[in-house]
Structure 1
Amino acid sequence: MSSENPGGAGETFRLLTRPIAWPAAALVTGRADPPLPDDRPWPGWLGWTRRFRLDRVPYGLATQVLDVLVAVATLLGTYSLLQNQTAKTEPYAPHWYLFACSFALAVPLALRQRHPVGAFRVSAFAMLVTTTHGWMVDSPKDLPYVPGGVFVLILVLYTLAARSPRGVTIGAGLALWVAAFLLDQQNPAGPAVVIVLPLLAGSLVRQRHLAYRELVERDEAAQRELAEQERRHRDTEAVLKERQRIARELHDVVAHHMSMIAIQAEAAPYTVPEVPDKIRSDLKEIRATALDALTEMRRILGVLRSEDGMERAPQPGLERLDTLLSGTHGSGLSLHTKVVGDLDEVPQGVSITAYRILQEALSNAMRHAPGSRVDVELIQKEGILLLSVINGPPSGAQSTISPPGSGHGLVGMRERAAMLNGGLTAKATPEGGFAVTATLPLKPRA
């Protein structure tokens, strides 16, 4: 027969095997969290250490050194105690063996920061060995445990619970309580309290740390998302503003050509008196269509002009290249210009775009590389206008890193080139400067 609820059976099996799996994890298979960094900040309750300049030492290193010093003191005290206790017992235990037991009891304290699970295993094994020898049975309180080993085990249990998963912590407590019950059946409650208290304290510290880390991660994720949204908003706003500006500039260009069409369509019948009536009617229709299109364009673009108060003057083009370059000379840049081809043949729309790209690239050079050499090149050939602005590092410096900014200038330049079906690249040069190159078709693609 097939099982009707295999998931429920599997869960039941896991519940039944947990009392075995947990101690196995603590004694054999379990692992703790990665070691904490040495340079972690000092806790607030240790603020008094600043008076002695102890906070200059990394907190992780300071705690490790303290653990080693306490471990050495525990080793010496335990060795002396075992010598006194074993002198009363038979058979006599050699000194090297007593020192080895004392070392095994003390060394977990020096290991607990980086290897809490391993330190617990060594400490539990050492306590088991020394307790079964019965060296402490005639102690003043008739306790079978070595005091130094108990002290170390308590600190190790706290670190284990603060740095290990829940299963390892519970398994360590169960394994120790069973061992304590077997070794001292007359007083099982005392060891249980000694075991539970450090494990409970460490677990509370771990839960608090995990909750704080989750809160920090959520806050960082929210900050990253907010920054990403702000960046997308800035980029979108930059693109929209640039498109509005391009639209206004193209309005000036198209309006001029539409006006010329209307004027030529109106004047054509008067230049040739023998024009047939059909052609006169077609020319009149062409003029009316051109005027309607011009009126509609002005109405739409007029909204953009009135909202932000942009100037109504025609936008500058390459006919004002000399004025732009002369103004750049006055800023301290070492400007070198090369022009190939007839720029007068460049259409007005392309001319405006090229002028704006040059203007933005030169402005970036003035801001980020003052006093540098700037090479400006314009090549008009085969129906394409090639434009490049290359600047070196600032004068007297090997390289420069531009200060962080929104990047709206580059976004605007790319948007302008894309509106003409062209391309633009902007990247750093190996010499530490910056290069802006643009390819602008003079005629729209079919």
Structure 2
Amino acid sequence: MTYTGDERGGAGRDGPWWWERRREAVLDVGLGAVSAAECALEGVQFAREAGLPGAVGVLFGFVVGATLVLRRRWPIAVVLVGIAVTPAAMGFLLSVVALYTLASSEVPRRITATLASMSMSATFVVMYLRTREGAADEPTLVISLSVFVAVALTVPPVLFGLYIGARRRLMESLQERADSLERELSLLADRAEERAEWARTEERTRIAREMHDVVAHRVSLMVVHAAALQAVAAKDPVKAARNAALVGDMGRQALTELREMLGVLRAEAPKPAAVAVAAPAGGFEDGPSLAELEALVGQSRAAGMVVELDVRAAGAGSADPAGAGAGVGYPAEVEQTAYRVVQEALTNCHKHAPGARVVVRLAHRDGEVAMQVENGPCDGKAAEPGLPSGGNGLVGMRERVLGLGGVFVSGPTDDGGFKVSAVLPCVSRA
């Protein structure tokens, strides 16, 4: 069984063969050389005691000591070699370093304990047999000395190896955790950037819708009144003056709304954490409401459009005489969206159906509010106002309604007109 440094991961590996780093290879080769020299010297005494030629003992000791180079690759084998040569009284450095390597490696602890016990027992027996001849009358001293030497050559390297192995595993665990946290932080940063980009896109879309609603409706009415002013300027000065006043009022209203919107854009930016959540819904509190629907319809009437406003209260079958928003309170985003849908639909009537009769219906129901703007066929005698169309009116209305979980339908009617319908879910605050 082999236990190499590769099992701990190959990150930063630059050493030859089984070594992870060059310095580890240099260290093991150096230790192997020292161990080989030690065992070669001890092999001379071993050869003399065994009656062998000295060269054989030196060669044998050199080979035994050199096995320390393999300690990281085969720690169990190196320990067994150390235990095997213990009776020859050689390989003290080999045994100590091999036991340390074994304890610090990924070898199961039961194997480490077994081999450490075998090494300690072998050392004790060899020391006891060698010291007993010189101190036969002191058995207690012989046993004590043998136990001390066996423990001194076995326990410290094993304990130190266990400590180093546990420390290395702890550092690797901390490194893995740090790498995992770094990856998570990188992922969170990417998600935060995506959310911020999404928030910016939503905010740009919302601002574009607001600018479209403000500019398209007000300027459309101004163009209609300007055309009427040009037509009646010479024939009816009084009506011309009234139309000029209306154009001025609408221009001032448009400038006021644009100034307020630009003021919001110039305001101090909120914290990034709030942008992703609050930005898309921002600005509803200061927007128009259903209570202003009567005035909105009145502006179209003043521009010459025939408009009927039909408001029905919850549970009622007749028109609500109190007004479009009387007695009913909805969240600000619902009221503003309902107002903008009607506003954009009236603007489209000015652009595409001049002279047509228009009906604006508003129904307060349980848990929802419904609105419908329907115009009849265009009057062929009416002058075309020549208003440009950006093609985003119906798209903007649909985005507003669907963004609140509502339903939006638009399309031509059977009699040649056009109809825009929307239903918004809401919770009454009253």
Q: TM-score, normalised by structure 2?
A: 0.43
The structure number with the bigger radius of gyration is: 2
Scaled by the length of structure 1, the TM-score of the pair is 0.42
